[in-house]
Amino acid sequence: MNVETEKDKQLVLDAYEALLKDCKRSRTEESRKMIEKAFHFAWKAHRGVRRKSGEPYILHPIEVAHIAAKEMGLGTKSIVAALLHDVVEDTDYTVEDIENLFGEKVSQIVDGLTKIKGVFDQNTSMQAENFRKMLLTLSDDLRVILIKMADRLHNMRTLNSMPLRKQMKIAGETLFLFAPLAHRMGLYTIKTELENLSLKYEHPDDYNLIHEKIKEQEVKQAKLIEQIIAPVEVKLKDNSIRCSIKNRPRSIYSIWTKMQTQNVSVEEIYDMVSVRVVFKPEEGIPEKNQCWNIYSLITDIYKPKPERIRDWVSTPKANGYEALHVTAMGPQGKWVEFQIRTERMDDIAEKGFAVHSKYNTEGSSDSELDKWLNDVREILDNPEADAMAFLDEFKLNLFSHEIQVFTPKGHIKTLPKNATTLDFAYEIHTDIGNKCIGAKVNHRLVPLSHVLKSGDQVEILTSEKQSPKHEWTEFVVTAKAKSKIKAAFKKERKEYTSKGARMLEDHLLEVGLQLNAKALRKMLEHYKLSGKEELFYKVGIGKIDINDIEGVVRRKSRSKFIKYWRLNFFGNNTKEELEEEVVEEVEETAKDEKPTIDKKKTFMLSEMAANESYKIATCCKPIPGDEVLGYLDMANNVTIHKRKCPNALKLMSSQGDRILAADWTSHRLMSFLAVIELSGIDKIGIVNEVTNIISKDHDVNMRSLHFESHDGVFEGLIHLYVHNTEDLNNLIVKLIKIKGLDNVKRIENIEEYS
């Protein structure tokens, strides 16, 4: 047990005082007493315990409560629950103790926040299962998820004290699940910070590069912003509009994402400036009218880009976001995005649904959140859904881009971008989805796979003879539609399985046989099936002819001579003893062949050990110099992925305990496959120039090249063997100097080009 020093006590008291200052919704004497009681109780419970950083553990729940109060605007019960959120898990106190001291509601929230203990099925990721069970608490209280988000944010802020392997696991999980969830809950500020911190630990070099570039651009950017804002401030002041206008800087993560997807530099991204206008609305005039009035005044100064107007005032986003966005041409030929919103809209945009209730507004946003929560619950309530399938389905519910379509009666339905008419059908009702045969979009007949656009009016056509088809899962995008189609297949399979079992039993009785273990074994061996359910199902759907069954069951499985020979050959050992010997021998061999891997240490990718101690992932094919990680499977095999590989991100979030920190040693003997893409102006001899440069580079070998030319522009793909990223980058620098070449970049997702 660690001794608490005077310095520790002062640290704790200072953190607690800072928390109290920001408890804006807990000003009554009763609220303050409850918070103080929870603080002292938690401090006593965690006394002597320290975090990995060496700080007293109580600082963590205080900071979580501080985030809940200041950055989410939560009330007293939430702050108390945040202070107590680790007490039940880490100490001898129980949920009943919390209920007796702080009441039923606080104990329910703490119970929801207490991490799930116990061992799950070995094929199920404990991480994925925990996340699934955590979300089950949505049905009890939304505050559980909000405090969990605060807990995750503080853990990310203090992640530097954790080992590298844990950092990658937690950062991957955060980016894959918690950041999209924060977005869906309307917690924009927290979502942005979670993304930035994830990037900081997953790609530290990229993070630091962008951070430095932003600092370099700050002075230049500030002058441009001042030049843009000045005339707008004068115009709005002349029209008696009370407002604040400020720059909305791009987040490091959003810059990095754009650099990856568009292959552009930081400087090019800074061509787009974003400004936020937050105003105090006049009473008695609809907020929407006032937003459009400000839009009119701004566009008197700067000419708007008509196709870049986004009206989320008339129809807010599903996460409650309201604002009017317009892009206009500003000074120095720079496009400027103006975000126009009231103080209320700004508060909700920054802190999400947690502060929504304080405005007592009635609108679609509350019901949209309720609808989303109900969709999540529907998926969670399916007892047959495995944890990994759940993660995939849940991700589909976190779309940041949405469309709004109309029913024939004019009601609005919000769907993710790329949703089809079949998604819309399932959105209305499961039975309508199951019976859907097509739709009329804007009075025109379209198929089930038709992709909808915002503003479409959709009428679903159904038939009693229709039933779900397997190919439907290929074009629906919502989690609700996918889970309902899968549920229909399971129900159908269950019915055919029961039918097949009855048919089999009845037929065997007719011919004087019984459906026993011996008969089943013969049928499974003959038809090469994995189990009796598969046998019954295939009989039920008619894939196995019932008339052939009698011959299969009556056939003798093995002659007495063979049995006698096997018994003599194996001596006096029983079958069980022989199986044990074989298993032991296999395990011993595996131990001899593959040494135990220490997950706490960085796995070094030695050139001499390639293909023996590790293998390169085929999805992203990393090469020496790439930021990588290792995935350790059940058989003790290590697969190396790029850290930015989508599959690696999913593994980090769902099976983080199997992730290894990995790094390259010097590689000069082995070659690795890389693909580069080129484009430019087609001219005579340009292909020859490209191949000449590659052939003269002794560190690179060309495997294949493919060029296409159309309308004076050419595009090419070249497959190369290189030793490391340094050799590849040197080659790209040489190629980009060729006159006429506009773009040369490495293809990250190599699988689809191989």
- C-alpha–C-alpha distance, residues 265 and 256, integer Å: 9
In the structure encoding, which two tokens stand for residue 185, read together? 């809950």
How is residue 114 written in tokens? 């207490």
Both tokens of 455, joined, read: 């503003």
Place of tokens 């996460």: 319
| Sheet strands side by side (includes 458-462) | 444-446, 436-441, 458-462
Contacts of 674 (CB under 8 A, 6+ apart): 621, 623, 719, 720, 721, 722, 728, 746, 747, 750
Half-sphere exposure of 41 (CA within 13 A, CB side): 23
Our measurement of the distance from residue 462's CA atom to the centroid of its chain's CA atoms, rounded to an integer in Å, reads 34
Q: What 3-state DSSP class applies to 211? A: helix
Distance, C-alpha 296 to centroid of its chain: 39
Identify whether 14 is a catalytic site residue: no
| DSSP helix, strand, coil percent of the chain (3-state; round to 5) | 55, 15, 30
Tokens, residue 150: 């605060």
CA 376 to CA 394: how far, in whole Å? Answer: 7
Q: At residue 218, what are phi and psi to the nearest 5 degrees?
A: -55, -50
Active-site annotation holder among 89, 140, 216, 708: 89
* CB atoms near residue 439 (< 10 Å): 23
Q: Which amino acid is located at 728 in the chain?
A: L
Which of 22, 90, 233, 607 does the annotation list as catalytic?
A: 90
Give whole-number Cα distances, 249 to 255, 340, 344, 411, 439, in Å: 10, 16, 21, 37, 43
Residue from 430, 429, 428, 437 nearest 464 by CA: 437
Backbone angles phi, psi at 546, to 5 degrees: -60, -25
Residues 6+ positions from 619 with CB-CB distance below 8 Å: 641, 645, 646, 647, 749, 750, 751
Structure letter (DSSP) for residue 674: E
Any residues with CB less than 8 A from the CB of 424 and at least 6 apart, and which?
A: 405, 413, 415, 439, 452, 458, 460
Q: Does residue 89 have an active-site annotation?
A: yes
* Residue type for position 683: K
Cα–Cα distance measured from residue 301 to residue 618, given in angstroms and rounded to the nearest whole number: 54
Distances (CA, A) of 36 to 40, 60, 76, 699: 6, 16, 11, 67
Interhelix angle 142-157/164-173, nearest 10 degrees: 150
Measured CA to CA, the distance from residue 83 to residue 40 in angstroms comes to: 10
Helix or strand (DSSP H, E) at 707: strand 700-710
Find residue 327's DSSP bridge partners.
337
HSE-CB for 8 with a 13 A CA cutoff: 17
Residue type, 364: S
DSSP state of 298: H
Which residues fall within 8 angstroms of residue 676, CB to CB, at 6 or more apart?
717, 718, 720, 728, 731, 732, 735, 744, 745, 746, 747
In this structure, what token pair is assigned to residue 448? 């089930």
Q: Which two tokens stand for residue 708?
A: 């296409």
The answer to whether the CB of 88 falls within 8 A of the CB of 95 is yes
| The pair of three-digit structure tokens given for residue 647, joined into one six-digit string | 């599959």
**Residue 164 belongs to what H/E stretch?**
helix 164-173
Q: Please, are residues 38 and 86 in contact by the beta-carbon 8 Å criterion?
A: no
Question: Tokens for 219?
Answer: 């002075």
What are the catalytic residues?
89-90
